[in-house]
Structure 1
């Protein structure tokens, strides 16, 4: 039976949580206050007026709904593609034998230390020659390709503790590599797969550099947020509204994926027992 935590731990955690929530409260209050009041500081309540003017202005002046849809598309497709391809690649590198297996794995893992800034100019030249500038593929391909460096490494480390007896039993029953992966490995690997999904979704949803360079007409929310910021006018109220739209979806998806992550951990534990 798990005992109750000491009161001082509850107090410390409560204080840390309150400090963590303060910026969120500030963003919400700033989005609901007039521009002049928020410029003086959202925590000042001498003249506490609430208005939805910033929300209306952002919705009317900027393509918020379109940017939200573009962000959902890019982050969703990149996350699903990574969650599908990564376990298959990790399974092949860990359980199968083929020529140059270790060499290819070393090349993929070493790409983890390669900064995005290094590949920007070659990618831009390649996409321009192929006519992919302002095409969703220009960001989807780097999103998925650059994620292989860390995602394959993460899932392959999980396979280090995978019970090899299950693989041998599947071979005895006549299962080939694909059947073994589909019926044995994949159902018992939900934990790292959902972990990869969480990290990939958060990265692609908040990505700014690649879509800012490669997309022109259909831009995601981070790029729209950068445009709303302006060069000379701070627009704190408008930026707060855009920030709320940008962060609320990752928060919801994180909570949903977290439950699935816990379910995957239970599945793995049950399989070992």
Structure 2
């Protein structure tokens, strides 16, 4: 690649990055300036006053810390469960032979196109009968169940190019299906499992629909963010504060694990990292 082409690509990426950052800068400005100064646009610099009143009001009027803890708990447990269960399911569907294997796989993957709105009423009736309304399990179970549609497909796609010689060698040495999974397949599928964890964590962290319906007293950040928006007063300053708090953790997770996420999308060799 010539220097001119490299410079052009860098310039285009830089412009896209700046455009992407403009809304983030706007949210930060809204959170530290009085609403009266930004009512006609946060970019106006006629009068600039910096204040932390919005941050103090949010922390004092709304259970922001409790919602943050609830969101971490929900996203963390759902991510951990998906990372533990998905590799075993993908291994079984790809390497093991059992009745109706292909039919079950098609049913699970077809759930990927199933809108959440379709399962809301049956789930609501089920949770009401079992007493799980306003319980963290009412959201955690659908989080994990609905994630199988894409996570099993992702890991199974990774296993398509997995060296079958390794499995045959393990079987010759006397290893059974469970030993093959734990000592051969699992250690060599770390990148795909981490990719599943990142996607699941980001999806659960930003999810609004199911927590809004099933949780009342102890709600995650997206639901609290929706509650902060007043009926007549939009509360843009406090909504900006809540949006920043909601964004910090998933952004940090993606930045820290982006190398593993990229490797999960690119690595198809089946070799151990």
For 2:52 and 2:187, locate their aligned partners in 1 and report how far apart those are by CA, in whole Å: 47
Contact 1:190-1:265 within 8 A present in 2 as well: no
Unaligned runs of 5+ in 2: none
1:261 Cα deviation after fit: 3.5
Contact 1:89-1:152 within 8 A present in 2 as well: yes
Unaligned runs of 5+ in 1: none
Counterpart of 1:254?
Answer: 254
Q: Residue 135 of structure 2: SS of its match in structure 1? A: coil
1:192 Cα deviation after fit: 1.4
Counterpart of 1:212?
Answer: 212
Q: Residue 42 of structure 1: SS of its match in structure 2? A: coil
Counterpart of 1:150?
Answer: 150
Counterpart of 1:66?
Answer: 66
Contact 1:188-1:268 within 8 A present in 2 as well: no
Counterpart of 1:175?
Answer: 175
Per the alignment, do residues 138 and 99 of structure 1 end up closer, same or farther by CA in structure 2, a change over 3 Å counting? same
For 1:93 and 1:234, locate their aligned partners in 2 and report how far apart those are by CA, in whole Å: 50
For 1:272 and 1:196, locate their aligned partners in 2 and report how far apart those are by CA, in whole Å: 17
Show the 5 A alignment for 1:74-153.
74-153=74-153
1:152 Cα deviation after fit: 0.6
Which deviates further from its counterpart, 170-179 or 213-222? Answer: 170-179
Contact 1:39-1:236 within 8 A present in 2 as well: no
Instruction: Report the TM-score, using the length of structure 2 for normalisation.
Output: 0.95
1:6 Cα deviation after fit: 2.6
Per the alignment, do residues 62 and 92 of structure 1 end up closer, same or farther by CA in structure 2, a change over 3 Å counting? same
Which deviates further from its counterpart, 237-246 or 168-177? Answer: 168-177
Contact 1:189-1:268 within 8 A present in 2 as well: no
Q: Give per-residue Cα distances to partners, 1:36-70, cap 9 Å, x unaligned.
A: 11222110011000000000000000000000000
For 2:10 and 2:262, locate their aligned partners in 1 and report how far apart those are by CA, in whole Å: 23
Contact 2:195-2:260 within 8 A present in 1 as well: no
1:77 Cα deviation after fit: 0.5
**How many matched pairs?**
272
Q: Give per-residue Cα distances to partners, 1:103-147, cap 9 Å, x unaligned.
A: 211111111111100000000000000000010000000000011
Contact 1:225-1:242 within 8 A present in 2 as well: yes
